[in-house]
Amino acid sequence: MINTVEKIYNWENNFTNYKVTYDDGKISSVPLDEANTDYQAIQTWIADGGTVIDNPPE
Amino acid sequence: MAIDKITTASITDANITTAKLAYDAIPFRNIIINGDMSIAQRATSVSGITNASGDVFVNDRFCWAESGSMTSTFTMSQVTDVPTGQGFAKSLKLDCTATDTPATTERIRIETRFEGQNLQYLKKGTANAESWTISFWVKSVKTGTYIVNFLDEDNARMVSKAYTINSANTWEKKTMTIAPDTTGTFDNDNAHSLTVAWILSAGSSLQSGSLADVWQAYANANYAAGQVNFADSTSNEFYLTGVQLEAGTTASEFEFLPVDVNLDRCLRYYQKSYSYATAPGTNTTVGIVTTDGSAGGLTTGYLAGNIKFEKIMRAAPTLTFYEKGGDSGVCSRLQAGVARTDNQPIATESISDNNASIYSSGTANANSIDVQFEAKAEL
């Protein structure tokens, strides 16, 4: 189960993937690929009211 | 045989059948990947599986799945209990470790899922649609009626077939044929088009109608009529192997593949850096990816590198990184021959279906990244 979702930016300030922390403590990098089922799960989690942590580089 | 006995009539298409040939005339006729349960890359057993576990894999390509909030728990394992004399070496075992009764639409099942592009030759949704035949070996402590459901994910259509466990704790082979479906074509892409599910528990709302034993629009009531509740006793154990799904109205002999071919097919959906028998998160350097040394020599700043996957994956995979000690979401920074510092940050510059560009912005003085990983592109 998803616990937190954070947007990850590269050093050129491009949003490249999500960092997801699950309830069991496992941390994964999820690509921005609509065919990826974890990406799909994040979109469902957001639609259900989940808030994505977004701290873009300044 | 005299040459004059071989007539044109005796070699017509209708007289030459797969059963009469001494070899597998149709390679890869089994649509199921890892149907002999021989591959288990992640682990050989997972305990404490609950409704919060999400999809759980032990044997590759077969997952435990639950809908609802049942409180039953399970242990799933790859085991050597197999039907005698059939050539199988491994099976999937599901052991109920805490009980519950499914409410309304709650359900538990073992699933395997398919890309639409691998199903096009079945011609579903056309006037030339094929029949399908599924065959498998099953053993269960709990006798009675069980359901296998086929769900067309692209068109919300389904068909469910019932089979009976006649004798407790005894291997039985089951074969079922599904009539063609001339409605609803599978998308020709890498997305999830078909699920085959061995139902183990199904709530009352999933059993209130008549079993959908021919293709029809999805309806909860017709999903699993008659299904026993496998989650009603901690004595219950369910075993499955020799799963084959093929076009046509008869079940052919199980198509055994060499282990390297079987594993290669599984790598499209899951890969890891660890050696085959090592579970992700294990404290080890065996298999660890060491990036090329920093061009700038030792640094306390950015280090970058690349991971090339063993095989092109179904889609850009979800990556879970592990430092040498086994913690996830971090890497180790390596000063070759001098020191390895664990628990260092790692991130991805990009992830594609065959490659990941990684970097570490940690502070430990190092010239390369040491990291283990697992890559998941399941359906």
For B309-360, the pLDDT digits (tens) are: 999 999 999 999 999 999 999 999 999 889 999 999 999 999 999 999 999 9
According to DSSP, the residues that pair with B22 across neighbouring strands are none
> Is the alpha carbon torsion for A18, A21, A22, A23 positive or negative?
negative
Q: Among candidates B285, B286, B304, B308, which has minimal Cα distance to B295? A: B304
Q: What is the pTM of this model?
A: 0.93
Q: Answer whether A15's CB lies under 8 Å from B350's CB.
A: no
Please check the confidence at residue B1 and state whether its pLDDT lies above 60.
Answer: no
The minimum CA-CA distance between B349 and chain A, rounded to whole Å, is: 6
ipTM for the assembly: 0.97
The minimum CA-CA distance between B361 and chain A, rounded to whole Å, is: 10
| Phi-psi label, residue A39: left if phi above 0, alpha if psi -120 to 50, beta otherwise | alpha
Q: Answer whether A25's CB lies under 8 Å from B328's CB.
A: yes
pLDDT at B297: 82
pLDDT at B225: 97
Decide the pairing of beta strands B144-152 and A15-22: unpaired
> Is the alpha carbon torsion for B374, B275, B31, B244 positive or negative?
negative
| Residue type, position B300, single letter | T
For B76-127, the pLDDT digits (tens) are: 999 999 999 999 999 999 999 999 999 999 999 999 999 999 999 999 999 9
The one-character DSSP state at B61 is T
Of B190, B314, B319, the CB nearest to A29: B319
Nearest residue on chain A to B377, alpha-carbon basis: A36
B301 to chain A, any CB pair closer than 8 A? The answer is no
pLDDT at A58: 77
The minimum CA-CA distance between A50 and chain B, rounded to whole Å, is: 17
The one-character DSSP state at B120 is G
- For residues B201 and B124, give the distance between their C-alpha atoms in angstroms, rounded to a whole number: 29
